[in-house]
Chains A and B, each alone.
Chain A
Amino acid sequence: MGRARFWMVCAAALAASLLLQLAVDGGVLPDLLNPYYLHLLTVIGMNIILVASLNLLNGYLGEFALGHAGFMAVGAYTAALLATKVLPPAADLPPVVGPFCVLVVTLGGAMAAAALVGWLVGLLTFKTVGDYLAIITLGFNMIIVNAIQNLDFVGGPRGFTGIPKNTTFFAVAVCAVLTLAILRNLIQSSFGRVWVSIRENAIAAELMGVAVNRAKNMAFTVAAAFAGLAGGLWAQNQQFITPRSFDYIKTTEILVMLYLGGMASLSGSILGVVAYTVLMEVLRNLLSAFAPQLAEWRMLISPLILILIMLTRRYGLMGNREWSWLRPGRSA
Chain B
Amino acid sequence: MGVLVQQLLNVAQLGAVYALIALGYSMVYGIIRLINFAHGDIFMLGGFLGLLIGVHLAWLPVYVMMPLAMVLTALAGVLVERVAYRRLRDANRMSVVITTLGVGIFLENLVRLAVGPETRQIRSGLPTGSVTWLQGHLGVYVTWDKVLIILVSLTLMAVLWLIVNRTLVGTAMRAVADAKDVVPLMGVNLNLIIAGTFAIGSALAAAGGIFYGQAYALDPYMGIDLGWKAFIAAVIGGIGSIEGAVLGSFLLAGVEVTTVAYLSSNLKNGIAFGLLILLLLVWPWGIMGKPAMRKV
Contacts and interface: CB of A to CB of B under 8 A. Distances in A.
A300 B99 contact: no
Contacts, number: 124
A127 B281 contact: yes
Nearest to B98: A259
Nearest to A128: B284
A170 interface: no
A314 B96 CA distance: 8
Interface string B183-195: 0000000000000
Interface string A256-281: 10011001000000000000000000
A306 interface: yes
Interface in B80-103: 84, 87-88, 91-92, 94-95, 97-99, 101-103
B210 interface: no
Interface string B257-290: 0000000101111100110110011001110000
A300 B228 contact: no
Contacts of A130: 292
Interface in A264-317: 296-297, 299-300, 302-304, 306-307, 310-311, 314-316
B235 A146 contact: no
Nearest to B221: A249
A303 B99 CA distance: 9
Task: Point out which of A252, A303, A304 has the most chain B C-beta atoms below 10 A from its C-beta.
Answer: A303
A130 B294 CA distance: 13
Interface residues of A, number: 45
Contacts of B60: none
Contacts of A315: 92, 95
Contact of A255 (B91, B98, B295): B98
A263 to B, nearest CB: 6
Task: Point out which of A134, A300, A310 has the most chain B C-beta atoms below 10 A from its C-beta.
Answer: A310
A328 interface: no
A152 B33 CA distance: 42
Interface residues of B, number: 47
Contact of B99 (A129, A145, A307): A307
Nearest to B284: A128
Given A140-B277, A146-B269, A307-B106, A131 B98 contact: no
B12 interface: no
Task: Point out which of B94, B97, B235 has the most chain A C-beta atoms below 10 A from its C-beta.
Answer: B94
B95 A316 contact: yes
Contacts of B106: 300, 303-304, 307
Nearest to A299: B109
Given A131-B235, A307-B106, A263 B94 contact: yes
A168 interface: no
Interface string A121-150: 000100111111011101110110111011
B64 interface: no
B35 interface: yes
A203 interface: yes
Task: Point out which of B29, B35, B280 has the most chain A C-beta atoms below 10 A from its C-beta.
Answer: B280
A139 B292 contact: no
Interface in B109-125: 109-110, 112-113
B224 interface: yes
Contacts of A149: 266
B105 A260 contact: no
A130 B280 CA distance: 13
B198 interface: no
A58 interface: yes
B281 A124 contact: yes
B98 A311 contact: no
A265 B246 CA distance: 40
Contact of A300 (B35, B84, B87, B113): B113
B88 A131 contact: no
B4 interface: no
B235 A306 contact: no
Given A147-B270, A307-B106, A310-B88, A132 B98 contact: no
Contacts of B294: 203
B270 A314 contact: no
B232 interface: yes
Given A135-B235, A139-B276, A297-B113, A150 B99 contact: no
Nearest to B239: A131
A220 interface: no
Contacts of A255: 97-98, 101
Task: Point out which of A136, A145, A147 has the most chain B C-beta atoms below 10 A from its C-beta.
Answer: A136
12 contacts: A131-B35, A132-B285, A138-B228, A138-B232, A139-B274, A142-B269, A147-B270, A149-B266, A203-B296, A256-B102, A297-B113, A314-B92
Interface of B: 29, 35, 84, 87-88, 91-92, 94-95, 97-99, 101-106, 109-110, 112-113, 224, 228, 231-232, 235, 239, 264, 266-270, 273-274, 276-277, 280-281, 284-286, 292, 294-296
Given A146-B268, A314-B92, 14 more contacts: A128-B281, A130-B292, A132-B285, A139-B273, A140-B277, A143-B270, A147-B270, A150-B266, A255-B97, A259-B94, A259-B95, A303-B102, A314-B91, A314-B95
